[in-house]
Amino acid sequence: AGYTTCALLGGQLLGGSVARGVRQCFLLVGGVFGLSPLLRSLAGTVSTDSVVALAGGGLLLHLGLCDYGFVNSVTGRLTGALSLGSGVLAAVLLAGRMRSETEVFGCVLLSLELFLLSPYARRHVRRRSTAAHLALTAAMVAAAAGLLLLASPAAAVAFLAAVAAITFVVPAALVRAHKFKAKISGPWDEAAPHFPHELVLRRRARQEEGELREEETRGSAPSAARDAAAAAACGSRCR
């Protein structure tokens, strides 16, 4: 579907040609199908709670490190190997809890399509038509919400609320906060530290006290020297 969508809307084939695209599809499908028995038994000795926790952490890491600029043509090359690896790892962990090898095959293949191939297809669609890109995004959100509804209605509602908050609420709050932005223009002056008045007075008093002590020390030194000299002279006379 992704290859067909890119060909119709984007005017470009993933892989460069039909033959190369078909070859890549067969290699991907065949590789995942051959590894399905191994992937099913990969997490067999791990508890379900650990699998769910690791899978959830991997998906959150994927969301945080995903290269969103590639889909919007901000960057020219898809980056974020850690994001892709964490997403595929989460899918492999969840696939280990499937009941059959066919389900494992479908789960891993779907994860590769979503995490690896979907950004390229969406990039071509975004370049060709913004309306088609918005429709594709809405369809993917609706499909995800529908699948979550079958598993847990509360999870579906939470997912839709999160999508609505990220799509509408947060951008609206950012736009609203722009009116509080203060633009400073004109000549820049050097920043001078500001100290409380009491602290300045204390510091001056300490400096003056230190200066007085230094003067007293300097004045007492010659008198002490004179006394020592007089005592020495008196001693020499007595002798």
Least confident of 3-17, 39-53, 224-238: 3-17
pLDDT of residue 191: 62
**Please, how many CA atoms are within 13 Å of residue 130, restricted to the half-sphere of its CB?**
2
| Per-residue pLDDT tens digits for 205-224 | 888 887 878 777 766 555 55
CA dihedral over 228, 232, 237, 238, signed as positive or negative: positive
Percentage above 90 pLDDT, the chain: 13
- pLDDT tens for each residue of 73-132: 666 677 778 888 888 889 888 888 888 888 888 888 888 888 888 888 888 888 888 888
The pTM of this model reads: 0.61
Per the CB < 8 A criterion, the answer to whether 34 and 101 are in contact is: no
Q: For residue 173, which amino acid is it? A: A
CA atoms within 13 A of residue 59's CA, in its CB half-sphere? 13
pLDDT of residue 79: 73
Per the CB < 8 A criterion, the answer to whether 109 and 29 are in contact is yes
Mean pLDDT of the chain: 78
Of 109, 149, 104, 80, the closest CA to residue 2 belongs to: 109
Q: Which pLDDT value is given to residue 168? A: 92
- Picking from 10, 12, 11, 15, the residue whose alpha carbon sits closest to that of residue 125 is 10
Spatial CA neighbour of 91 closest among 109, 78, 79: 109
Lowest mean per-residue pLDDT among 23-37, 186-200, 206-220: 186-200
pLDDT band at 150 (very low <50, low <70, confident <90, very high): very high
